């Protein structure tokens, strides 16, 4: 296949920008699109086997292989793969008087970095889903994998598009697929509500992105990346005028930031992502851990030249502090929850906050590296939680599970969960440790962001605590459990009798789930090795970023208590992580004899209502309901009344006037001669009276 792709690699002389070639990259989009269509046809023809899953796995694997081959041949060069002319409008010959948005792909190292883990993880998660969703083989199974493939196609358009319009369509596509997949169980009211919540909250961010794209076109006269980045390098607009100090340099990045905050669940638009756990676990692993939620990070990284136009870095400061506030807020909520899948959801929100903070303090390499490592270990964690949910009849409450990792058939799940937890907690020499350290160190190295650094360091300690709170409560300790709400009788897949419910036997995962978890655990470990490849460029991921539009020069003027932050943070973050793990060990493992109670319960009186507030998610959803939703609901009812009585009333009145007039005149046209004569006489009398009155 490599020989077939080679002739397609045509390079044009790149004196001013875009290069022609790499048409093979179009296959990365074509394969998942064809898979989605094929799964739809399976539903039409009533296929009741796992064929949709194998179609999806094969197509996504093919996309990954093509991406890998393109990366091997393209290196760190930038190319444009032209598909076909799509939108070409012109209304003059001057700057900004034509709109060109072709179906073409912008291929550079940042694009390839994202697509490597998007297609690779999508393939593994689809294989996992082939077993996880097997209970729904039939129309639902076909529908799930059709949506799954369509999502990957949309994500590929978002990442690979060579213009903002194609990026926006991919952006909306992943939002649509997220809505469809979150609401997959459409007969479940909570799933339907979660899907609508995700869709509506994302629309707020999408408005910001749309305003940003409109402003870019008005300012630069193009939505294509190649000419746009050329103008940004020169610091001029479409007419050649300098942009320094202009409103565009300040506010266009803010518009894009709003879009990124919506899609990547940052404060105040983060509330949709935890509720999105109502969807099947493979959806959580793919969309809400590894791909869709990193779209906002990708957007800001891709448009980094736009953020550097403003010398005050106003938008970047908002990005940094927005990420820091989100990281801490989500961590405090996650440490008080009991649903292990929801804890991982808040963890995702928190880790996304780290990524945005990294972008804000100009370590795009650190942010991208954390995206890369987080994709593997968070997918591992979600899929482990899904395996537990699948085997224990939907049970996810950490107070009703214990010792799962030591039950028969659950060893791989326990080991994979342990590796994922080590990465999330930032245990030394794990991938999560290196990627998180790059961001923490840069916050202290960047002047004016030391306070943000302390916020993130505190968040890192809390993260280590709540991560191992889950592990110590669920996967080690006495072997005890209660089945979840999906328990409808005995399941004879297992013969483990260490339980309190004689009518239920949890069934361990099969080969597909175990294989994926084992491979993801290995990849989570191997990801750490990429930190030492091209070490001067901050690792392999850093070298990919430095050869793209996301490349920035990070400042190194600040210190951490008088020390070099990039050296001191290796030790400081390790100590903070150890402290968090140690606290979790003391509070949730030592002396625990049941799954319900632990030493942490003894501390609840000391913290008073704070624990209740954190368990209630600081009542931010309730605040939004009181301040935004309810007033809008009242206002909508008022407008409904105005519309019904005033607007519709006037329209109905004018519509009924001819009818009323006709009814009034109808008696005068009854066809009776005597009535006509009487009418004429009455008219004559009336005229005579008028004449007499006037005289």
pLDDT digits (tens, 9 = 90+) for 591-633: 888 888 889 888 888 888 998 999 999 999 999 999 998 999 9
**Is residue 581 in some structural domain?**
yes
β partners of residue 79 = 107
Q: What is the per-residue pLDDT across 100-125, written as a single tens digit (0 to 9) for each?
A: 888 889 999 999 999 999 999 999 99
Which position has the higher pLDDT, 606 or 358? 358
Over the chain, what is the mean pLDDT? 88
Nearest CA among 349, 361, 371 for reference residue 441: 361
Determine the Cα–Cα distance for residues 191 and 196; give it in Å rounded to an integer. 9
Query: Would you say residue 293 has pLDDT above 50?
Result: yes
Side-chain half-sphere CA neighbours of 667 within 13 A: 5
Q: What is the per-residue pLDDT across 385-406, written as a single tens digit (0 to 9) for each?
A: 999 998 898 889 999 999 999 9
Query: Would you say residue 9 has pLDDT above 70?
Result: no
Share of the chain above pLDDT 70, in %: 94
Determine the Cα–Cα distance for residues 416 and 128; give it in Å rounded to an integer. 14
Residue that has been written with the tokens 């008696």 in this structure: 667
Give the pair of three-digit tokens for residue 115.
């697509």
**Is residue 278 in some structural domain?**
no
Give the pair of three-digit tokens for residue 22.
């790499």
β partners of residue 403 = none
Query: Would you say residue 571 has pLDDT above 60?
Result: yes
Give the range of the structural domain holding residue 102, as residue numbers without chain letter. 1-264
> 651 vs 641, 643, 646, CA distance in Å?
14, 10, 8
Contacts of residue 535, Cβ cutoff 8 Å, sequence gap at least 6: none
Give the pair of three-digit tokens for residue 515.
């294989």
> Please, which pLDDT band fits residue 75 given cuts at 50, 70 and 90?
confident
> 190 vs 186, 196, 422, 426, CA distance in Å?
9, 10, 32, 34
What's the pTM?
0.89
Query: Would you say residue 52 has pLDDT above 50?
Result: yes
Last residue of a domain, one of 592, 615, 638: 615
Share of the chain above pLDDT 90, in %: 61
Residue 546: is the preceding peptide bond cis (ω within 30°)? no
**Is residue 133 in some structural domain?**
yes
Query: Would you say residue 664 has pLDDT above 60?
Result: yes
**Do 532 and 657 lie in a common domain?**
no
Last residue of a domain, one of 247, 264, 281: 264
Ordered DSSP codes for 435-464:
HHHHHHHHHHHSTT-HHHHHHHHHHHHHHH
Query: Would you say residue 1 has pLDDT above 90?
Result: no
For residue 22, what pLDDT is reported? 57
Query: Would you say residue 302 has pLDDT above 50?
Result: yes
Q: What is the per-residue pLDDT across 449-479, written as a single tens digit (0 to 9) for each?
A: 999 999 999 999 999 999 999 999 999 989 9
User: Cα Rg for the chain, rounded, in angstroms?
Assistant: 31
The stretch 432-441 carries a mean pLDDT of 94
> Please, which pLDDT band fits residue 670 given cuts at 50, 70 and 90?
confident
> Are 466 and 421 in contact, with CB atoms under 8 Å apart?
no
**Is residue 543 in some structural domain?**
yes
Three-class secondary structure of residue 177 per DSSP: helix
**Do 594 and 487 lie in a common domain?**
yes
**Do 571 and 633 lie in a common domain?**
no
Determine the Cα–Cα distance for residues 174 and 28; give it in Å rounded to an integer. 16
Residue that has been written with the tokens 């072709």 in this structure: 102
For residue 502, what pLDDT is reported? 59
Write phi, then psi, for 56 (nearest 5 degrees).
-65, -45
> Are 252 and 306 in contact, with CB atoms under 8 Å apart?
yes
**Is residue 276 in some structural domain?**
no
**Do 634 and 594 lie in a common domain?**
no
C-alpha triplet 153, 101, 81: angle, nearest 5°: 60
> Are 447 and 362 in contact, with CB atoms under 8 Å apart?
no
Which position has the higher pLDDT, 531 or 239? 531
Which position has the higher pLDDT, 394 or 197? 197
Three-class secondary structure of residue 211 per DSSP: helix
**Do 634 and 593 lie in a common domain?**
no
Query: Would you say residue 13 has pLDDT above 80?
Result: no
Q: Alpha-carbon torsion 30, 31, 32, 33, what sign?
A: positive
**Is residue 300 in some structural domain?**
no
**Do 30 and 55 lie in a common domain?**
yes
For residue 691, what pLDDT is reported? 86
> Please, which pLDDT band fits residue 12 given cuts at 50, 70 and 90?
very low
- Give the count of domains, the chain: 3
**Do 431 and 480 lie in a common domain?**
yes
Q: Which stretch of DSSP H or E encloses residue 104?
A: strand 98-107
> 291 vs 151, 162, 326, 374, CA distance in Å?
10, 19, 19, 10
**Do 580 and 633 lie in a common domain?**
no
> Please, which pLDDT band fits residue 489 given cuts at 50, 70 and 90?
very low
DSSP-derived secondary structure letter, 478: S
C-alpha triplet 391, 478, 578: angle, nearest 5°: 95
Burial category of 50 from C-beta neighbours within 10 Å (exposed 0-12, middle 13-18, buried 19 and up): middle
> Are 74 and 113 in contact, with CB atoms under 8 Å apart?
no
For residue 677, what pLDDT is reported? 83
Contacts of residue 6, Cβ cutoff 8 Å, sequence gap at least 6: 73
Q: How many helices (H) and strands (E) does the chain have?
A: 28, 4
Q: What is the per-residue pLDDT across 215-258, written as a single tens digit (0 to 9) for each?
A: 999 999 999 999 999 999 998 888 888 888 888 899 999 999 99
> Are 204 and 265 in contact, with CB atoms under 8 Å apart?
no
**Is residue 202 in some structural domain?**
yes
DSSP-derived secondary structure letter, 506: P
For residue 694, what pLDDT is reported? 80
Give the pair of three-digit tokens for residue 6.
């080679």
Ordered DSSP codes for 346-384:
HHHHHHHHHHHHHHHTT-HHHHHHHHHHHHHHHHHHHHH
> 409 vs 234, 352, 385, 397, 496, CA distance in Å?
61, 33, 15, 20, 9
Determine the Cα–Cα distance for residues 260 and 167; give it in Å rounded to an integer. 13
For residue 136, what pLDDT is reported? 85
Write phi, then psi, for 558 (nearest 5 degrees).
-85, 170
> Please, which pLDDT band fits residue 487 given cuts at 50, 70 and 90?
low
**Do 242 and 385 lie in a common domain?**
no
**Is residue 302 in some structural domain?**
no
**Do 571 and 597 lie in a common domain?**
yes
Lowest mean pLDDT among 440-444, 454-458, 676-680: 676-680
**Do 444 and 475 lie in a common domain?**
yes
> Are 624 and 271 in contact, with CB atoms under 8 Å apart?
yes
**Do 510 and 646 lie in a common domain?**
no
Give the pair of three-digit tokens for residue 499.
């339980």
Determine the Cα–Cα distance for residues 531 and 430; give it in Å rounded to an integer. 10
Last residue of a domain, one of 207, 234, 264: 264
Give the pair of three-digit tokens for residue 1.
């296949």
Could you tell me what percentage of the chain is helix, strand and coil, using 3-state DSSP and rounding each to the nearest 5?
70, 5, 25
């Amino acid at each position: 296949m490599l020989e077939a792709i080679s002739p397609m690699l045509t390079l044009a002389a790149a004196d001013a920008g875009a290069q022609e070639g790499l048409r093979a990259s179009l296959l990365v989009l074509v394969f998942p699109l064809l898979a989605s269509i094929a799964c739809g046809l399976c539903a039409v023809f009533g296929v009741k086997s796992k064929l949709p899953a194998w179609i999806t796995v094969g197509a996504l694997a093919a996309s990954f292989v093509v991406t890998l081959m393109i990366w091997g041949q393209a290196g760190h060069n930038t190319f444009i793969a032209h598909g076909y002319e799509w939108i070409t409008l012109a209304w003059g010959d001057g700057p900004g008087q034509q709109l060109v948005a072709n179906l073409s792909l912008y291929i550079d190292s940042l694009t390839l970095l994202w697509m490597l883990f998007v297609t690779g993880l999508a393939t593994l998660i689809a294989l996992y889903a082939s077993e996880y969703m097997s209970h729904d083989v039939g129309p639902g199974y076909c529908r799930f994998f059709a949506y799954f493939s369509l999502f990957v196609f949309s994500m590929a358009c978002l990442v690979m598009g060579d213009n903002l319009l194609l990026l926006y369509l991919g952006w909306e596509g992943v939002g649509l697929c997220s809505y469809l997949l979150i609401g997959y169980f459409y007969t479940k009211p909570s799933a339907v509500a979660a899907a609508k919540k995700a869709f509506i909250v994302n629309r707020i961010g999408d408005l910001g992105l749309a305003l940003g794209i409109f402003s870019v076109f008005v300012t630069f006269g193009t939505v294509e990346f190649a000419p746009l980045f050329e103008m940004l390098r020169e610091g001029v607009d479409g007419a050649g005028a300098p942009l320094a100090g202009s409103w565009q340099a300040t506010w266009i990045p803010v518009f894009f930031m709003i879009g990124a905050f919506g899609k990547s669940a940052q404060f105040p638009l983060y509330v949709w992502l935890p509720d999105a756990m109502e969807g099947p676990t493979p959806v959580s692993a793919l969309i809400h851990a590894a791909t869709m939620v990193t779209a906002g990070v990708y957007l800001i990284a891709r448009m980094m030249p736009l953020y550097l136009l403003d010398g005050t870095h106003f938008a970047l400061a908002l990005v940094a502090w927005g990420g820091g506030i989100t990281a801490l807020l989500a961590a405090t909520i996650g440490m008080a929850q009991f649903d292990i899948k929801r804890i991982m959801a808040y963890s995702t929100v928190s880790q996304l906050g780290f990524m945005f903070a990294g972008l804000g303090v100009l370590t795009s390499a650190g942010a991208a590296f954390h995206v890369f490592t987080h994709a593997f270990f968070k997918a591992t964690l979600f899929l482990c939680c899904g395996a537990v949910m699948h085997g224990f009849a939907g049970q996810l409450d950490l107070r009703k599970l214990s010792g799962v990792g030591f039950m028969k058939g659950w060893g791989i799940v326990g080991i994979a969960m342990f590796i994922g937890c080590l990465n999330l907690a930032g245990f030394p020499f794990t991938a999560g440790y290196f990627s998180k350290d790059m961001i923490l160190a840069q916050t202290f190295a960047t002047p004016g962001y030391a306070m943000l650094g302390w916020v993130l360091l505190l968040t890192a300690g809390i993260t280590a605590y709540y991560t191992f709170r889950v592990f110590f409560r669920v996967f080690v300790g006495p072997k005890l459990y209660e089945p979840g709400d999906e328990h409808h009788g005995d399941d004879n897949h297992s013969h483990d009798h260490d339980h309190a419910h004689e009518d239920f036997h949890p069934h361990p995962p099969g080969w597909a789930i175990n294989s994926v978890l084992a491979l993801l655990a290995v990849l989570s470990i191997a990801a750490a090795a990429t930190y030492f490849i091209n070490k001067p460029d901050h690792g392999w991921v850093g070298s990919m970023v430095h050869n793209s539009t996301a490349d920035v020069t990070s400042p190194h003027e600040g210190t951490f208590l008088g020390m070099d932050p990039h050296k001191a943070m290796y030790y400081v973050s390790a100590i903070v992580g150890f402290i968090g793990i140690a606290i979790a060990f003391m509070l949730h493992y030592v002396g625990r004899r049941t799954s319900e109670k632990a030493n942490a319960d003894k501390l609840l009186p000391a913290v008073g209502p704070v624990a209740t507030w954190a368990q209630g998610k600081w009542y931010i959803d309730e605040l939004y309901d009181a301040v935004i939703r309810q007033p809008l609901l009242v206002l909508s009812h008022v407008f409904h009344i105005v519309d019904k009585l005033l607007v519709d009333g006037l329209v109905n009145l004018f519509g009924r006037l001819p009818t009323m007039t006709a009814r009034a005149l109808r008696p005068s046209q009854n066809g009776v001669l005597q009535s006509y004569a009487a009418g004429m006489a009455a008219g004559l009398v009336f005229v005579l009276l008028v004449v007499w009155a006037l005289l």
